[in-house]
Amino acid sequence: MENRQQLERLLIGLPSEVQAEIRRFAEEIEALEAGRRDPEDFKRFRLENGVYGIRGAPDRHMVRVKVRFGRITPEQLEALADIADRFTPNRRVHLTTRQDIQFHGVRREDVPVVLALIARAGLTTREACGNTVRNVTACALAGISPTEVFDVTPYADAVSRYFLRHPIAQNLPRKFKIAFEGCREDHARVRIHDIGAVASVREGQRGFRLYIAGGLGAQPRAAEVLEDFTPADLLIPTCEAVLRIFDRHGERRPEHTFRMRARMKFLARQWGIERLREAILAERRVLLATRSGRARYEIEIEEEMPPVIESPRGKPPVRASSSEYEQWRRANVIAQRQPGYSAVLVRCALGDLTSDAVRALAEIARRYCGGRLRTTITQNVLLRWVPTEALPWVYQALAEAGLADAHQLADVTRCPGADTCQLALTHSRGLAEAIRRVLAGDGFERIPELSELTIKISGCMNSCGQHHIADIGFYGASSDVAGRALPQYVMLLGGFTDFERVQFGRAVARIPAQWAPQALARVLALYRDERREGESFRQFLARVGPERLRDALAPLPQTPPFEEAPELYRDLGAEDDLFRAEIGPGECAA
């Protein structure tokens, strides 16, 4: 009753549709607990509202907050920090590879209040999960990049707003992902999306090169070109036409085997890209010929202006020649196209931030860049519009908050893994922590060519950690050894994406989880010892081939039985318990 009274107070002043959704969530919980609601129906309902189940805790949930194209304010960060303090057991938030922010371990009875607090901060969880248009992502450098064609921010904003609560996006065959890129480089990884939009200008007119039907998962597929140039005023109707075709023809049979094949990439494989392209463009013609007066395709363009802030005064708190400051500036600072301003990448170890760190970050952004922030798909945060002259003060403030990490190589991307995910086999956080120790201890970070190396980890083959597109990727697996379950990782090498080419990593080894950090060290040591001057890891791999890397891993011994090495039968990050190859009911395809 106390929660319900608090909820009603929080709902005052919110938009009517938001109030209705959150009140219904509270009613659905009551109906579930009274036995009047089928648990499967409740699951589908909560997923539509951004709430996942948690492994081993049926009465606790993960709540995913949509951060549209990554833009967030200091006030919103502070509101999320307050939620983490009040409603999560570890007082942390987790940043995702779709620029979202997640809370883990929220009690079911508290979820409606949490949703209301998120809404009061101007954020939403609506359609952050489920068979919907997920969070629309965009390059975090949009609007400030020296290499961009134009700022894609208003277009990502318009598309995300258009499809939020749109009737066509409420019951798709499966989830649907959209990304925007405006730079000459593919920061947004557009070709692993259902729709990837790349900024283009033709005869002075803004538009996009649109890619369709990409995705990762157990069977990755690179998106292909829908059309070379889609004028900006046709962006939204083209996206809607793609959704209509997917909604109408995507796989809908309820059996699990078919549900896993319900992504748009499978429709492209079934039909072929030419047939899919023709159907989408024909649907767009119909849509344009029949649209109602309520359809709004116009996109307002507003150039981002520099923030009005007071520049720091006095002697800088750190010397410009300080080795730590120089390393941080080389690794984390990007010159904006606007003279006198820089962007600062704040590396968030393993995508996690404590509530205290979130508050410190909010205050630093408010003080030094007018609150201009973006989350990134690398599970970090970007401070934008920092006056270059203020960088020493920003570094000092970040260092005092424990946020001045300059270790690029140790910036590992990972999914939550078996800590919370019901589909994961292994605890990807445990491997990520072990890898960070390996990288810090063997001198690999002193190799300049490794500064751009990507390492990504997933707790299962579904690639939530994007292991397929990493230079070095791992995904969780298991094997039976004489009746004992052995936690393992499959190691992949050579994944990357750009606009013209996508290469998914190739598996080179399947190894016990406890040996995965050692396997990584062997691969990097081979690169260190046999690379040519100036040769990147990707170039090295292309030259020597994956077989040479397999040879480097061959000295790892065969897995001994449990009696000889019981420690191998415990997962990294869960060493207190023997490993059990157990997965729960997946909710990504619910």
Statement: residue 1 has pLDDT above 60: no
Question: Does the pLDDT of residue 135 top 90, yes or no?
Answer: yes
186 CB neighbour count, 10 Å cutoff = 20
Q: Percent of the chain scored above 70 by pLDDT?
A: 98
SS3 annotation, 569-586: HCECCECCCCCCCCCCCC
> Start-end ranges of CATH 3.30.413.10 in the chain?
137-290, 413-569
pLDDT in tens, 141-190: 999 999 999 999 999 999 999 999 999 999 999 999 999 999 999 999 99
Strand partners, 341: 387
Is 458's pLDDT higher than 80? yes
What CATH architecture does domain 2-120 belong to? Answer: Alpha-Beta Complex (3.90)
- Cβ distance 214 to 195 under 8 Å? no
Give start-end residues of each CATH 3.30.70.3340 domain in the chain. 323-400
Confidence (pLDDT) at 56:
81
Q: E strand or H helix at 7, and its extent?
A: helix 2-11
Query: Under CATH, what is the fold of the domain 323-400?
Result: Alpha-Beta Plaits (3.30.70)
What is the structure's pLDDT at 587? 67
Compute the distance between CA of residue 50 and CA of residue 65 in angstroms, rounded to an integer. Answer: 7
Q: Which amino acid is at 171?
A: N
Model confidence pLDDT, tens digit, residues 299-353: 888 888 899 888 888 888 887 678 899 999 999 999 999 999 999 999 999 899 9
| Identity of the amino acid at 524 | L
Which residue has better confidence, 295 or 367? 367
| CATH fold label, 413-569 | Sulfite Reductase Hemoprotein; domain 1 (3.30.413)
Q: What is the mean pLDDT of the chain?
A: 93
The two tokens of residue 580 are 């059990």
Q: Tens digits of per-residue pLDDT, 401-425?
A: 999 988 888 789 999 888 888 888 9
Question: Cβ neighbours of residue 314 under 8 Å, at least 6 residues apart?
Answer: none
- pLDDT digit string (tens) for 378-403? 999 999 999 999 999 999 999 999 99
* Per-residue confidence (pLDDT) for residue 2, from 0 to 100: 61
pLDDT at 90 exceeding the cut of 90: yes
Q: Please enumerate in sequence order all residues whose Cβ is within 8 A of that of 208, keeping only pairs 6 or more positions apart, or say none.
A: 155, 197, 198, 199, 200, 229, 230, 232, 235
- What digits encode the pLDDT tens for the residues 10-69? 999 999 999 999 999 999 999 999 999 999 999 999 999 999 999 888 899 999 999 999
Distance CA 462, CA 424 (A): 9
359-386 CB burial, b ≥16 within 10 A, e <16: bbbbbbbbbbbbbbbbbbbbbbbbbbbb
pLDDT tens by residue, 232-241: 999 999 999 9
Domain(s) of CATH 3.90.480.20: residues in the chain: 2-120
Q: What is the pLDDT of residue 584?
A: 67
Q: From the options 1.20.1260.10, 3.40.50.620, 3.40.1360.10, 3.30.413.10, give the CATH code of 137-290.
A: 3.30.413.10
Looking at residue 583, what is its pLDDT? 75
| pLDDT single digits (tens) 531-555 | 999 999 999 999 999 889 888 888 7
